[in-house]
Amino acid sequence: MMAFVPPTPEFSHGNPAAASNNMDAGQAMIEMKDIYKTYKNAAGEFPVLRGLYLTINRGEFVSIVGKSGSGKSTLLNMITGIHHPTKGQVVIGGTDIYTGVTESQRSKWRGRNLGIVFQFFQLLPMLTLLENVMLPMDYADMYDFDERPKRAEELLRLVGLEKYAHKLPVLVSTGQQQSAAIARALACDPPVLVADEPTGNLDSRSAAAIIDLFEDLARRGKTIVMVTHDPSLTARTTRNIVIFDGELIDETISRALPLLRQALLTAVQGGEETAAIQAA
C-alpha cells in the first residue's frame, strides 16, 4: 500500500482555496448547521432540506440512506459545494465554503480538498486511466509537473490497476473503471471523499472490494461520506444517517429500530419529541 503524501497549502478561514487538509483525529471535519434548501419554479416552492444539523468527524466512514426524493443527493451536494443552501452554514475542515466565497474560490477549494466518486464513473473516454488520474492534479495545480505521473501510478497501484495504467476506460471492466475513478478522486490527497452510489453498477465482488478500500482509507484518516441504497454496505460503515422528507432521523432511534421503515422512524421520532415536551 502506498503512503499518502498530503498537499501543504496555507490555511485561511477566509479563503477556502487556501484551506489545509490536515486535521487531528476526532475533530469535526464536516459541520452542517440549520440547513434549508428550497427549489423554486413556475409551480411554486419545493422544500427539500428542512433545518438539518449534522457533524461528521475526521476519519469517519458514513453512509446516507433514504428513499428517492428524500434529499440525500441534495445533502451530498451541499458538502461538495454544488448546491447552495437557501439558509444555513456548511463548514468543512474549519472553512465556511459558502459565506463570502466566490464560485472561483470554491472551485479551487473543491479541487484541493474534496474527492468525488460518481455512480457512473465519469472518466474521460479519450484519456488513459493514468491520464484520468493526473487530471485533478493539473486542474488544482498540485505537485510538480514531473511528479504527477509517478503519483498517478502509485494511486493506480493502490486500487490494483497498475497493469492497466495506459489503457482507455472502455478497455477495462466496470469495476476497474470505478476503481480508477476512486484513484482519480484521491489524486490531490483530499481529506474528504464523497461517493454517490459508488457500487450501484458493480457486481457484489467488485462492490465489496470498493468498500474494503473505503474502510482502509478511513483508517488512514480520510473522511468518507457515501450515499447508498444497499443495506449490506451500510452495515460496514461507522455511522448510518437516515434522511426522510428532508429531515434527519435521530441516529439513536434508527440504530435501536433498524427494521422500521423510514416513515415509521419519523413517527417514532415525532412521538419522542412530543413526550419530551410534555415531560418538561
Where residue 20 sits, what CATH number does that domain have?
A: 3.40.50.300
Would 278 be classed as within a structural domain? no
User: Which of 204 and 162 is assigned the larger pLDDT?
Assistant: 162
Task: Please list, residue by residue across 215-225, b when 16 or more beta carbons sit within 10 angstroms of its beta carbon and e when fewer do.
Answer: eebbeebbbbb
Would 145 be classed as within a structural domain? yes
Would 128 be classed as within a structural domain? yes
pLDDT of residue 11: 30
pLDDT of residue 21: 43
Q: Note the pTM of the prediction, 2 decimals.
A: 0.80
What's the structural domain count of the chain? 1
For the beta sheet containing 28-41, the strands, ordered from the edge strand earlier in sequence to the opposite edge, are 44-57, 28-41, 87-92, 95-96
Cell 493502490 belongs to residue: 158
Would 43 be classed as within a structural domain? yes
Would 105 be classed as within a structural domain? yes
Would 211 be classed as within a structural domain? yes
pLDDT above 80 (res 246)? yes
Contact 226, 75 (CB under 8 A): no
pLDDT band at 137 (very low <50, low <70, confident <90, very high): very high
pLDDT of residue 16: 44
As a whole number, mean pLDDT of residues 49-55 equals 94
Would 132 be classed as within a structural domain? yes
Spell out the SS3 assignment of 195-211. EECCCCCCCHHHHHHHH
CA–CA gap between residue 202 and residue 279 (Å, rounded): 49
pLDDT of residue 22: 43
Look up residue 10 and give its DSSP letter.
Answer: P
What range defines the domain where residue 146 resides? 16-248
